[in-house]
């Protein structure tokens, strides 16, 4: 059975939980072939028949969805664009639960299931292919040198996820049978067709936030309509090939039973600040809660959160926390949603409190590693602590930069667990310490052992293919991503701020200029000869 390729999907929504009447307002899809090359892209805004929720996150206003199709108008084309393909998303549970809810309103059933079991999740695959990377799409993309521009636009996020998947495919060629198994599984999924019986939408959904007219759209197959934007989403560009050496040594080949989706390889608080409200009234009479107009501070922090070595259930909960906090605001609705998710994931209250503590400690560590906090940002961190129920004495300690600076280092200089840092330093309050800038590696790095992974970044003057051949002749493996297993990053400019360079600095991986590479290779050869 031929592999039908991939359909990478991302949706923007009016909120985080479909069970509370939140709806899809934008859909973006990127089609990739079985090798990860782009075939087509699709996007549309969707009239949700309600207010648009956090417009400061997704950037859509009433004028953008006025006259746009509603979900029942595009559902048949949507199914056609997913049918026969492996559906892929970053944090697939989120996309899947909204698709399941939209299908259910029409009396249809989504083959992905409400928990996303029928979709491939690039977030879940990150520990296998990007060890050390965090959960978020932005953090994973940084490891492959993809800047996530226009985040929270569906096509932009789907495009970034597609590039991430393409990198996984290149790194995972040793698991080719597992990827083929996903193709066979996708071919068996039963997506509704135009002939599938359905129920008409509830009258409350007739005439949405944009005042769409049923007569202007054919049932199930209305024309898709892009959001209005000044600068279009950049065209998809595949991750540069690193040659035939891209095997997934070290990755655990997954089991792939054919009858089920293949198993994976191995009270509210408000933040202060200006308020930006959508002028539409909620058709359900629900209160539209204000949120900060400039949420970039916490969004940056949540994008950079490291792995916490959580199990599957904890990771799903933490991913929802990422989304809830990325706009710097946690509403009563979102707090209730998190409690509901905890029940679904069988996380009891003590387990949830421990997870909140670990999450907050990680957030604090990330904040102090990348920012000098303003008074407003300190208030935001304090508000997050209150939202998560963090003990007051731990909350106070987190707001003092000297806490992390004074942290005792273990003898082997391994990185401390962020939770241990906060837990053990409740009394370490003092003067603000001077911030430390990361330093690049010395040019005399080396030697490199045979099979060591080397990543390339930037517009290399010698040409990427030339450097790849040199590294291969030296017995090294050119790897498309920077992970904790990377031994060296070769940059066109060591002072650049590319995602790979930032990742290398955070992991302690040496970074050298391309002109220094011959010296590193010579040192490696001499070391092997001497041995």
Cα separations in angstroms, 493 against 104, 429, 489, 499, 513: 52, 39, 11, 13, 6
Provide the 3-class DSSP secondary structure of residue 11. Answer: strand
| Domain covering 6-216: architecture | 2-Layer Sandwich (3.30)
Provide the 3-class DSSP secondary structure of residue 120. Answer: strand
CATH topology of domain 453-530: Rossmann fold (3.40.50)
User: What is the mean pLDDT for each group of 10 consecutive residues in the chain (531 residues)?
Assistant: 93 84 93 96 92 74 85 95 97 94 95 93 92 87 84 89 96 90 95 92 58 56 81 47 36 44 50 31 39 52 66 81 70 75 85 85 70 69 79 75 43 40 34 38 69 91 85 91 92 83 87 85 78 62
**End-to-end Cα distance, the chain:** 50
Q: Look at residue 325 in the predicted model and tell me its pLDDT.
A: 73
* CA–CA gap between residue 47 and residue 66 (Å, rounded): 7
C-alpha neighbours within 13 Å on the C-beta side of residue 393: 6
Neighbours of 51 (CB within 10 A): 23
Bridge partners, 26 (sequence order): 12, 45
Domain ranges of the chain: 6-216, 296-423, 453-530
- Angle of CA points 68, 73, 74, to nearest 5°: 90
Is 0.75 topped by the overall pTM? no
H/E element, 12 = strand 6-13
Provide the 3-class DSSP secondary structure of residue 292. Answer: strand
Burial 193-202 (b: 16+ CB within 10 A, else e): eeebebeebe
User: Quick one: which of 256, 74, 236, 68 has its CA closest to 179?
Assistant: 256
Phi, psi dihedrals of residue 29, rounded to the nearest 5°: -135, 135
* CA–CA gap between residue 489 and residue 456 (Å, rounded): 6
Phi, psi dihedrals of residue 143, rounded to the nearest 5°: -70, -20
Q: What is the DSSP string of 229-275?
A: -SSPPPPP-PPPP--TT---TTSPPPP--TTSPPPPP---B---S-B
Neighbours of 98 (CB within 10 A): 25
Neighbours of 450 (CB within 10 A): 10
225 and 45 Cβ atoms separated by less than 8 Å: yes
292 and 275 Cβ atoms separated by less than 8 Å: yes
User: Quick one: which of 111, 90, 139 has its CA closest to 316?
Assistant: 90
* CA–CA gap between residue 520 and residue 475 (Å, rounded): 13
Q: DSSP label at 216?
A: G
Residues 6 or more apart whose Cβ sits within 8 Å of residue 245:
472, 477, 478
Residues 6 or more apart whose Cβ sits within 8 Å of residue 510:
441, 442, 445, 487, 488, 489, 504
* CA–CA gap between residue 111 and residue 83 (Å, rounded): 10
Provide the 3-class DSSP secondary structure of residue 477. Answer: strand
Query: Hey, which bits of 16-175 come out as E strands?
Result: 24-32, 38-45, 86-89, 120-121
* Angle, helices 312-325/296-303, rounded to nearest 10 degrees: 160
Where do runs of H (alpha helix) occur along 83-197? 92-105, 122-129, 137-142, 154-171, 176-188
Q: Look at residue 350 in the predicted model and tell me its pLDDT.
A: 86
């Amino acid at each position: 059975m031929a592999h039908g390729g991939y359909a990478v999907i991302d949706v923007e929504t009016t909120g985080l939980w479909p069970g509370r009447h939140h709806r899809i307002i934008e859909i973006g899809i990127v089609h990739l072939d079985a090798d990860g090359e782009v075939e087509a892209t699709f996007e549309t805004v969707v009239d949700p028949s309600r207010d648009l929720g956090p417009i400061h996150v997704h950037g859509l206003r009433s004028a953008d969805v006025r006259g746009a199709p509603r979900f029942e108008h595009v559902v048949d084309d949507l199914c056609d664009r997913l049918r026969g393909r492996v559906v892929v998303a970053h944090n697939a549970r989120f996309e899947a639960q909204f698709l399941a809810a939209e299908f259910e309103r029409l009396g249809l059933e989504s083959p992905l299931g409400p928990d996303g079991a029928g979709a491939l999740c690039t977030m879940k695959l990150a520990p296998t292919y990007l060890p050390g990377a965090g959960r978020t799409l932005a953090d994973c993309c940084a490891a492959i040198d993809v800047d996530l521009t226009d985040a929270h636009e569906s096509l932009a996020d789907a495009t970034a996820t597609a590039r991430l998947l393409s990198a996984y495919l290149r790194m995972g060629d040793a698991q080719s049978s597992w990827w083929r198994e996903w193709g066979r599984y996708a071919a068996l999924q039963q997506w509704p067709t135009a002939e599938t019986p359905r129920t008409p939408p509830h009258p409350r959904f007739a005439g949405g936030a944009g005042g769409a007219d049923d007569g202007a759209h054919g049932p199930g197959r209305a024309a898709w309509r892009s959001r209005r934007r000044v600068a279009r989403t950049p065209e998809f560009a595949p991750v540069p090939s690193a040659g035939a050496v891209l095997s997934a040594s070290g990755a655990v080949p997954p089991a792939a039973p054919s009858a089920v989706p293949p198993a994976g390889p191995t009270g509210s608080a408000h933040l202060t600040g200006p308020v930006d409200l959508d002028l539409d009234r909620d058709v359900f009479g629900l209160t539209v809660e204000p949120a900060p107009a400039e949420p970039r501070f916490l969004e940056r922090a949540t994008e950079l959160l490291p792995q916490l070595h959580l199990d599957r259930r904890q990771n799903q909960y933490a991913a929802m926390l990422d989304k809830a906090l990325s706009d710097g605001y946690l509403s009563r609705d979102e707090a209730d949603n998190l409690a509901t998710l905890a029940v679904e994931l069988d996380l009891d209250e003590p387990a949830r409190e421990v997870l909140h503590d670990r999450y907050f400690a990680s957030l604090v560590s990330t904040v102090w590693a990348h920012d000098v906090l303003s008074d407003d940002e300190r208030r935001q961190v304090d508000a997050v602590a209150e939202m998560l129920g963090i003990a007051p004495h731990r909350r106070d300690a987190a707001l003092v930069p000297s806490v992390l600076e004074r942290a005792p280092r273990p003898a082997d200089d391994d990185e401390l667990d962020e939770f241990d840092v906060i837990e053990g330093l409740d009394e370490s309050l003092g003067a603000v310490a001077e911030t430390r800038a990361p330093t690049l590696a010395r040019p005399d790095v080396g030697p490199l052992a045979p099979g060591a992974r080397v990543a390339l970044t930037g517009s290399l003057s010698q040409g990427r293919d030339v450097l790849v051949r040199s590294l291969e002749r030296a017995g090294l493996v050119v790897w498309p991503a920077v992970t904790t297993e990377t031994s060296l990053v070769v940059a066109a400019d060591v002072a650049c701020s590319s995602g790979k360079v930032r990742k290398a600095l955070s992991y302690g991986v040496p970074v050298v200029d391309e002109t220094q590479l011959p010296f590193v290779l010579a040192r490696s050869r001499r070391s092997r000869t001497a041995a």
